[in-house]
Amino acid sequence: MLVACFHRAGVPPAVVQLLVGGPQEGQDLVAHPGVDGVLFTGSARVGIAINKKLATNPGKIVALEMGGNNPIVVVDTPKVSDAAAIIVQSAFTSAGQRCTAARRLIVKDTMYDPLMAEVKALAARLIYGEPFADPAPFMGPVIDNEAADQLVESFLYLLSHGGKAIRHMTRRDDTLPFLSPAIIDITAMAERPDVELFGPLLQVVRVPDLDAGIAEANRTRFGLSASLIGGSPQDYNRFWANVRAGVINWNRPTNGASSKAPFGGIGLSGNHRPSAFYAADYCAYPVASTEMDQPRASIGVGLSDA
């Protein structure tokens, strides 16, 4: 429908096209000599494969946006209910299926009990179901049954390796990919897996202070989005300066980035080519030019008399 709207608006069909396919179609497009650039959104595994494939072709633009293991850090704030709402929005909007969704909630000890009580209660109230259900759901299904299976297995893995369930992940029908929002405390886990669990699964870690929270936030190979809730402007300045991410917010969700600003990440989240506002800049190449209206030149030294 979007492509049809472009065409009806006068954009030539050769300029905007849509091809729906799978891995083979993607591989063919990446390698095709008629494609001058590849702007990819998807998993780190596929993005790395594209990067390797085009490593010997420096003339082809490669822009990678590959998701994240995004942290939301909470320090002292009197606005506990608001903080809980921001956390739920960050973790469970679109059933957690946004590259900027919060995967990890890092909480200062003094905030843990009141905050987790609010987050748990609010998550329990979330309605999940099909798009036109009545009452309207907050979130729908994950993409397919295979993804639902993997998320349930991931929750059980965390639970069996030291995680403490705050809210269990349930699946009311094994034939459909509807999952309840799940929350699990992984503070006691000896090794916390640094993977992007693309769904409604929020992992919680307790820390003693902001510096420990920043260190925990950076304990990832990804670097897409991060948020700080609470604290002072000085706390946020320290957070902003030290957290490795391309989208960093204060008292705002990790998701919902504006297209009027640059968008992208570092590490396994991207290759330093921000999308959104800056995308047009690297889809054209820069040209340096010096000019005069007529050719005028002389050579003042180094010439023989003849």
Assess whether 91 and 53 both reside in one domain.
no
Report the alpha-carbon distance of residue 182 to residue 184 in Å, rounded: 7
What pLDDT, on the 0 to 100 scale, is given for residue 94? 97
Residue 305 lies in a domain: no
- Give me the sign of the Cα torsion angle 234, 256, 62, 48: positive
Pairing state of beta strands 247-250 and 262-263?
Answer: unpaired
**Digit-coded pLDDT (tens) for 130-164:** 989 999 999 999 999 999 999 999 999 999 999 99
Tell me, letter by letter, the H, E, C secondary structure of 189-249: CCCCCCCCCCCCEEEEEEECCHHHHHHHHCCCCCCCEEEEECCCHHHHHHHHHHCCCCEEE
For residues 222 and 139, membership in a common domain is answered with yes
Q: Determine the pLDDT at residue 157.
A: 98
Q: Strand pairing partners for 106?
A: 73, 205
Residue 143: strand pairing partners: none
Residue 267 belongs to some domain of the structure: no
| Rounded distance between C-alpha atoms, residue 279 and residue 287, angstroms | 17
Q: In this structure, is residue 212 part of a structural domain?
A: yes
* Residue 299 forms part of a structural domain: no
pTM listed for this prediction: 0.92
What radius of gyration do the chain's Cα atoms show?
24
Give the chain's residues under pLDDT 50.
Answer: none
Q: Are residues 97 and 42 in the same domain?
A: no
User: What is the pLDDT, as a whole number, of residue 291?
Assistant: 96
List the catalytic residues.
65, 99
Q: Which tokens sit at 156? A: 């059980």
Same structural domain, 139 and 236: yes
Domain endpoint, select from 66, 85, 110: 66
Residue finishing a domain among 39, 66, 93:
66
Instruction: Find out whether 70 and 222 touch, Cβ atoms under 8 Å.
Output: yes
* CATH code of the domain containing 150: 3.40.309.10
Q: Tell me if 272 is assigned to some domain.
A: no
Q: CA–CA distance from 76 to each of 115, 120, 286 (Å)? A: 10, 19, 47
pLDDT for 285 equals 83
pLDDT value for 150: 98
Based on the domain organization, do 147 and 214 belong to the same domain? yes
Verify that 39 and 111 share a domain, yes or no.
Answer: no
Cis omega before residue 135 (within 30°)? yes
Show the domain range for 53: 2-66
pLDDT at 284 (0 to 100): 83
In total, how many domains does the chain have? 2
